[in-house]
Structure 1
Amino acid sequence: MAIPGNLLSATTEMVDPNTSGWAAKLNCSLSLASGGRNGDGCLKLTSVAAGEMQARTFSSVPVEPGSLYWTFADASSSTQPERIGIRWLDAAGVELSVTWSLTTSSASASWHRVSVAGYAPVGATRAQVLLSSTPAGAGVFHYWENVYLGLPLRIPGNTLSFNAESGGELDTSAWAAESNATVSRIAPVSSWAADFYYAGGEQIAVTAVAAGDASAECVERPPVVEGQEYLALTYLGPPTTGSSVWVELRFYDATETQLSAHRATLAPPGTGIYRQITSGVAPAGAVTAGLAVGITGASAGQVARVEGSYLAVPDAAPNPSLRSGNVLPIADWDFEQGVGAWTVASGVATIARSSPWGAEHFFDFYSLTATSSTATVSALRSGIYPGVVEGENWRAETYFKVTAGAWQIAIAIRWYDETDTYLSTSTAITFDAPASGWWNLYDDAIAPAGATQAQIEITVTATAASSVMRFDRPALWQTLPRESVEAFSSQAMVQLILRELTPGQLMTVWRVTADGARMLVRGPDGLYDAYSIPADSLVIEDYEAPLGVPIYYSVLTINADGTGSEYRTTDTVTLDPGDPNYVWLTDPARPGVGLRVLVKQAPEWKQAIEQTVYRVRQRATPIVLADVRQSREGDLVCWTETDQRRDALRFLLSTGNVLLWRCAPGMGETDVYVAVGEVQWPRIVTYAREEWREWTLPMTEVDMPTGGQVGSATWTVYDVVLEYATGYDVLDRYETVFDLTVDRRS
């Protein structure tokens, strides 16, 4: 699988099907080995003699002086550690310098990550990757694969810098000792999935100076908006299984005074590295936020490792754990920090966060654990949450699992008014909980008059002593149609909204016309054909729907293993074509810059054919050998009425992309994908200030493109204001003004 943004070729990255992307540089020979994870192939370096051996990429890639680049690879050797470097070259191919990583702390035969980042120096125009290790003799092997060189790969939406996020791939400047600690960079043996690209081989080490509590903090303070919830996480490596290591999200006012802190302590199952999540709402007066990490009760010299730090609003990055519209804060549904606001309202049950990390969970790494010592009834209640609208339908749900004993379970919604006065409880239905596996339980209810707040109540009945049940991602949200469709005729676009999807399932979406013909619908990553669902709701904008024709959408979802298929069908909608003298020209790859133009003359289509005629003597009819008839070709003649529309059409045609021509029924033309050749746009009269232009667009019918779409015709400045709190947030998500214009996010 190609690494996104890799400047290296696929052969160089994967070492498949050969080693042609690599060259020996020092004291080694190269060969192709098997057993890689990014494709079966991997690069085998064999030492010629004792001493350092190096290999380099065969070719160099272009770089910009002053820009930050990152390289990583996965390595394996049971006999010696390794390092990786970026070799900077000038225009003549002369080496200027090498940015080396730290050497891995020990040798390991398991695949592990090595990496480093650096700024291209003055005069650098190209770069290569260097792989290095120092064997003790001849004939020693070292294996490499999954090699990347390019711009830093970031966790989407992160407000922290790459250096802070990555665990010090550059240096330690993003982190500072806070209490009883020193901060340094280390390169332990770090094993990551081959397709996890947000972690490297270098990490920040927080070392306790003396016995006691030790901590360090990230010096960066990204801006926040008071009242907004924020999610923070980092990967923590504890010194021992029993160590108490933690991450803390902190909020500060304009004077850098800390206003609040939200700590989550890792329950480590070992001494590896584990993702620990925390969250909190920015309090009144908060203007910035920060991260801190530490060890409680450390011994002198103990080290906590830090990697992959992140701070952003919850929906900044795709997160399959999120239930769209859930009024519960993260702490109350994810249980990564503890039990949140959940309490035992009645009964003998006790509640706690599951332990250790990763042992019991449906989402992320922890769950809420209820334990009943006796066979009795207990009621578990969440906090009370605002945002309820009276008269609307609301749904409460939870995932649950029986891990000991036996249980019955029911879920209900408790309603409150704005003064926190209890109003009523929805009717609950009790079920026998299945004996094993994770299950989903939900209940719908109409909010009564006066209701402005609500609470989830889960009633559990242990039918045996010492019973244990787990809960994960409880949610309370206003239910909306599972699928809805709306025609936006002014943009010649149909919007399809899908809700209550299951992340990780595969989805296929078809547009269906009245005659039963089906066409796949396009999305950001290509056609929605076995598309892996990233979140529980999706908004799909279809810019290729026909004009003036009733259509509906058919959606198939299926588990990744091929089981559990489900069909959904939407209502029928029709795009109003408006004035039939106008047609739409749409770029499927950039639908936001589509244009409606006035037609002077529809194409007079012709279809060429290659054929040879053989005239046989003494025979009246010839023998004709012919190839298939080619696609249609013809000229569309249209007008633009203003200079602005003239420039818009030029911009639409500028890339040479395939366009979709759509016209109103009655013109006698079907929708067709076309490639447009050389164009002309003279004035309709020879007056210099005349704005009307007559365009002749030579069109050739082509196949429907299969790539994704970028941007949206409905993306406005108001959307930017709603989605981003500051200009800082906008700069973090868009590389250019054009990217912002078409909503192409980095």
Structure 2
Amino acid sequence: MAIPGNLLSSTTEAVDPNTSGWTAKLNCSISLGSGGRNGDGCLVLKSAAAGEMQARTVSSYAVVPGTVYATFADASGTVAERIGIRWLTSAGVEISVTWAVSTAAASASWHRVSVAGVAPAGAARAQVLVSSTPAAANVNHFWENVYLGYARFTLGNLLTANAETSELDTSAWAVETNVTISRSVPAISWAVDAYPVGGHMLTLTAVANGNVSVLGTERPAVTPGVEYLAYTYLSPPTSSITSWIELRFYDASGTQLSATRGALAAPSTGYFRQRVSAVAPAGATSCAVAAGMDAATAGQVMRLDNTVVSVATDARSGSITTYDAYSFEQGVGGWSITSGAATVARSTPWGAYGVDGNYSLTITSATATTSTLRSARFPLTPGAGLNWRAEWASQVTAGGWTATRGVRFYDAANNSISLDATTSATVPTSGWWMLTTDVTAPANATQAAIEWTLTATSTSSVLRMDSVSLWPALPLAAATASAGTASVTLTLRELPVGYLLTVYRVGQDGARTLVRGTSGLLSKTTLSSDVMVIEDYEAPLGVPVTYSIEIYTAAGALSSTRSAGPVTIDAGDPNEAWLKDPGQPQRNLKVLVERAPDWSRPIQQSTYQVRCRRNAVVLSGRRGGLEGDLSIWTRDDDEREALHWLLDTGDVLLWQASPGMGVADMYVNVGSIDEARVSSYAPELWRAWKLPLTQADMPTATGVGGSAGRTWQDVLSGFATGTDVLAAYETGEDLLLDQRG
């Protein structure tokens, strides 16, 4: 798949179907190999003699001096390698090369190498260089999945790209205790599409025996009362050593207010994502990330990569449980045994048990007795009187259990009001089970706690719980129409993440049409969130439609169906029509129609007059779609500019008129346009337009353009000043879509 934002062509990136994007630069020949990850092809460098061999991209790519650019690739070989960015003048003269640190060891498995650098003064173009140094001739080295572009980082990260990955340098981190900081490139087999990770890892080396810690130098802004999540990949020197990540909050004077630590329970010396979360305390204005080891031995090394701080997300949209209380990544999250002999702890080691993240809550009872398990109290937001749904993932790993599952409500004085619970039932065994219960909050309830009454049915019984949520129970599918945008908003809730989704719009005649999403038509699209809001700008005007939703397992088996509607978009003034861009609905425009087209349908024909025969022989192709001129008016300068903006892209448009006007909804291409004044009076605002329309097929691969998760925080993390932002983007739309000039 194409790497988002890549300056390289798809052929150069994936080395498919040929090596035309690459050329040998030093001591090697190149050829097309097989067995790649991003497509089958890969680039093979064969050494001509012992010593360094290099290849480069054939093309060079425009860069702006002072801007950070990054490159990465996946490599495989028998010797260590490195990757670099070659900076060139506008005349193609080399200025310098920014090289990555060479990998720590060779690996025949595909592994990531990368580097970032600031384009130097005078640089106008850049190329990617790949390099390795075999000890003999005829040694092969393999490359593919190559990227060159702006530095990549995780959307929503409060930290900059360099703090996340250390691809540029180690300046985003400072020594705190008993450590030296450097960068290294271990050969790690990351997923092919794990773009923000891999390559350089921040490397901590203990100076002497004792505790080790480093502290991030960046202090992103936070809001008191908001929960934040920090995570990173940790690679401890031994599985027995305690390594950790810590989230710290500071006030306006820089005084530390709190610190919350998530310790890694490492199963080995590999690379493990460790998380920690905390709510910003009163007075907090900024935060920072720290990492380290306890009781290290001099010379021991720990590495970290892909460090992120973001606003914590809910297990279910709208859930009031905090991250630590539903995911158990740093401990038991406020859960306790209020009565009985059972005990609670975080599961161990990392990855042994988990649904959300890599740990779960572990309840153990040494005796066949009854215990009460209760969470911390959570504020009811919104308040009392609503229906609430509680959900748990549970797994019995030893013995057996029966349980009542419920929610206990409290008033503002922390007094228990009621416990709404299920009847006692056996907890399912054999694998993870998602269990739910619905409750109604009493009128004076302000807080709630999740509560289980558990009875172990045998000694040494063990129960795991994870992904615990409590949220207002809203409709699973709801559709609302907006006349102002001539669209329908379809909201889907409680979707199973990782499953596949298909959405149809169903007309009055029963015809089903796929609805458009961000990456194209929603046909078995993988779900990445439990809530999806779909804005359907292609729904017809003035007639009722319904929506049919099909949910499939990851393997493609139909799991469940839903429906929403009917819903009708108000068609408005029948003298007006809509011109819409399916891929960029922000350009959509309602226009006043002067005259609908008089249609023609062209056909390709060849006429042959046969000698001694009266009638000609005519060979015909298939008759084409409708063609005609749509005459419209714009009534002021804003409409005129908006129409130009709509037509600028040259995209296929959707023309929609009110029912009864004799015109069905139609996708069209617009040819050369005419804009005429309606009078000789110079200040006259009205304009008469002639739009030559040619009927087109509905675009199927076009997704609804938008930010795709991009927020102002991503802009803040990528640019130091507003001046830098203004220099990078020509328009607000370019800023939204991260299309830099």
1:387 CA displacement? 2.0
Change (3 A) 1:157 1:711: same
Q: Output aligned runs, 1:158-557, within 5 Å.
A: 158-166=157-165, 168-315=166-313, 322-388=315-381, 389-557=383-551
Moved more, 723-732 or 512-521: 723-732
1: CA distance between counterparts of 2:324 and 2:380? 18
Q: Is the 8 A contact 1:554 1:570 kept in 2?
A: yes
Find the counterpart in structure 1 of residue 641 from structure 2: 647
Q: Distance in 2 between matches of 1:64 and 1:692?
A: 43
Match of 1:49 in 2: 49
Is 2:329–2:360's contact at 8 Å kept on the other side of the alignment?
yes
Deviations 1:354-405 (A, max 9, x none): 1111111112111111111122222211111112522210011100111112
Kindly indicate whether the alpha-carbon contact (under 8 Å) linking 2:160 and 2:717 is maintained by their aligned counterparts in 1: no
Q: In the alignment, is the contact (CA less than 8 A) between 2:158 and 2:714 conserved in 1?
A: no
For 1:745 and 1:532, how far apart are their aligned partners in 2? 24
- Most deviating of 4-13 and 195-204: 4-13
Pairing 1:45-194 to 2, within 5 Å after superposition: 45-78=45-78, 80-166=79-165, 168-194=166-192
Tell me by how many angstroms 1:58 deviates: 2.6
Q: Please report how far the alpha carbon of residue 575 of structure 1 lies from its aligned counterpart in structure 2 after TM superposition.
A: 0.6
User: Which one-letter code corresponds to 1:15 in the other structure?
Assistant: V
Rounded to whole Å, the distance in 2 between the matches of 1:17 and 1:683 is 52
Q: Where in structure 2 are the equivalents of 1:640-719 lying within 5 Å?
A: 640-706=634-700, 707-711=702-706
Shift, 1:483, TM fit: 0.4
Q: What CA distance in whole angstroms lies between the structure 1 residues aligned with 2:353 and 2:467?
A: 13
Please report how far the alpha carbon of residue 46 of structure 1 lies from its aligned counterpart in structure 2 after TM superposition: 2.3
Q: 1:620 to 1:25 in 2, by over 3 A?
A: closer
CA contact (8 A) 2:159 2:717 kept: no
What is the DSSP-based 3-state SS (H/G/I as helix, E as strand, rest coil) of the residue aligned with 1:656? coil
One-letter amino acid of the structure 1 residue matched with residue 406 of structure 2: A
How far is the alpha carbon of 1:595 from its aligned partner? 1.2
Partner Cα distance (1:469, 1:144) in 2: 47
Structure 1 position 474, deviation (Å): 0.5
Q: Is the 8 A contact 1:710 1:743 kept in 2?
A: no
Equivalent position SS for 2:675: coil
Q: CA deviation at 1:271?
A: 1.0
Give the secondary-structure state (helix, strand or coil) at the position aligned to 1:491: coil
Distance 1:608 1:383, change over 3 A: same
CA contact (8 A) 1:251 1:288 kept: yes
- Quick one: distance in 1 between partners of 2:390 and 2:738? 33
Distance, in Å, in 2 between the alignment partners of 1:151 and 1:743 is 16
Cα drift, residue 725 of structure 1: 8.6
Shift of 1:738: 4.3
Q: CA deviation at 1:420?
A: 0.9
Contact map agreement 2:315 2:469 (CA 8 A) in 1: no
Partner of 2:591: 597
How many angstroms does 1:23 deviate by?
A: 1.9
Within the candidate set 571, 582, 587, 1:588 is matched to 582
Residue 426 to residue 113, structure 1, CA distance change in 2 (3 Å): same
Deviations 1:553-604 (A, max 9, x none): 1111101112242111112011111111111111112112211111111111
* CA distance, structure 2, for counterparts of residue 601 and residue 634 of structure 1: 11
Confirm or deny: 8 A CA contact 1:222 1:288 kept in the other structure. yes
User: Does structure 2 retain, via aligned residues, the 8 Å contact 1:392–1:447?
Assistant: yes
Which is worse superposed, 128-137 or 544-553? 128-137
**Preserved contact between residue 161 and residue 717 of structure 2 (Cα < 8 Å):** no
**CA distance in 2: counterparts of 1:52 and 1:622, whole angstroms:** 73
Q: Partner amino acid for 2:153?
A: R
CA–CA separation in structure 2 for the residues paired with 1:249 and 1:525: 35
Separation in 2, partners of 1:337, 1:161 = 24
The answer (yes or no) to whether the contact 1:12–1:147 under 8 Å persists in 2 is: yes
Q: CA deviation at 1:269?
A: 1.2
Counterpart code for 1:710: G
Aligned counterparts of 1:553 and 1:216: Cα–Cα separation in 2? 53
Structure 1 counterpart of 2:5, one-letter code: G
Which deviates further from its counterpart, 255-264 or 525-534?
Answer: 525-534
Distance 1:740 1:643, change over 3 A: closer
Alpha-carbon separation, structure 1, partners of 2:632 and 2:68: 47
Which residue identity lines up with residue 130 of structure 1 in the other structure? L
Q: CA offset at residue 521 of structure 1?
A: 1.0
**Overall identity of the aligned pairs, in %:** 54
> CA shift at 1:260, angstroms?
0.6
Q: Following TM superposition, by how much is the alpha carbon of 1:724 offset from its aligned partner in structure 2, in angstroms?
A: 6.4
Aligned to 1:22: 22
Whole-angstrom CA distance in 1 between matches of 2:519 and 2:735: 15
Q: Mark the CA change 1:16 to 1:614 in structure 2 (over 3 Å): closer, same or farther.
A: closer
Q: Is the 8 A contact 2:548 2:562 kept in 1?
A: yes
User: How many angstroms apart in 2 are the aligned matches of 1:487 and 1:729?
Assistant: 36
Relative distance call for 1:744 and 1:11 in structure 2 (3 A) is: closer
Is contact 2:35–2:42 with CA below 8 Å preserved after alignment? yes
In 1, are the aligned partners of 2:607 and 2:617 still within 8 Å (CA)?
yes
For the 8 Å contact 1:401–1:437, the answer to whether it is kept is yes
Larger CA deviation: 481-490 vs 692-701: 692-701
Q: Is the 1:413–1:454 contact (alpha carbons within 8 Å) kept by the matching residues of 2?
A: yes
CA distance in 1, matches of 2:454, 2:558: 29
| Residue of structure 2 in register with 1:318 after alignment | none
Compare 640-649 and 256-265 and name the one that shifted more: 640-649
Taking the aligned partners of 1:430 and 1:670, their CA distance within structure 2 comes to: 59
CA positional deviation for 1:406: 1.7
Q: Deviations over 1:494-524 (max 9, x none)?
A: 1000000011111111111110111111122
In structure 2, what is the Cα distance between the partners aligned to 1:684 and 1:456?
Answer: 70
Q: Give how far 1:142 is off.
A: 2.0
- Cα distance in 1 between the residues matched to 2:439 and 2:548: 29
Aligned counterpart, 1:558 = 552
Query: Aligned partners of 1:744 and 1:46: how far apart in 2?
Result: 40
The answer to whether the 8 Å contact 1:249/1:278 transfers is yes
* Contiguous gaps of at least 5 residues in structure 2: none
User: Cα 1:40–1:216, aligned 2, differ >3 Å: closer, same or farther?
Assistant: same
Change over 3 Å in CA distance of 1:91–1:739 after alignment to 2: same
Partners of 2:737 and 2:455 lie apart in 1 by: 51
User: Displacement, 1:30?
Assistant: 2.2
Distance 2:275 2:662 in 1: 59
Taking the aligned partners of 2:289 and 2:669, their CA distance within structure 1 comes to: 52
661-670 or 140-149, larger mean C-alpha shift: 140-149
Runs of at least 5 residues in structure 1 that lack an aligned partner in the other structure? 316-320
Q: Match of 2:641, SS?
A: helix
Structure 1 residues 472-493: Cα deviation after superposition (integer angstroms, max 9, x where no partner)? 1100001100000000011101
SS at match of 1:565: strand
Which amino acid in the other structure matches residue 454 of structure 2? V
Deviations 1:594-640 (A, max 9, x none): 11111111111111112234455676654432111111111111111
Q: Is the 8 A contact 1:322 1:535 kept in 2?
A: no
> How far apart are 1:151 and its partner, in Å?
1.3
Instruction: Give the whole-Å Cα distance in 2 for the aligned partners of 1:726 and 1:589.
Output: 23
Pick closer, same or farther for the CA change 1:248–1:345 going to 2, 3 Å: same
Deviations 1:408-429 (A, max 9, x none): 2331011111111100111313
Residue 434 of structure 1 and its aligned partner are, at CA, apart by 2.7
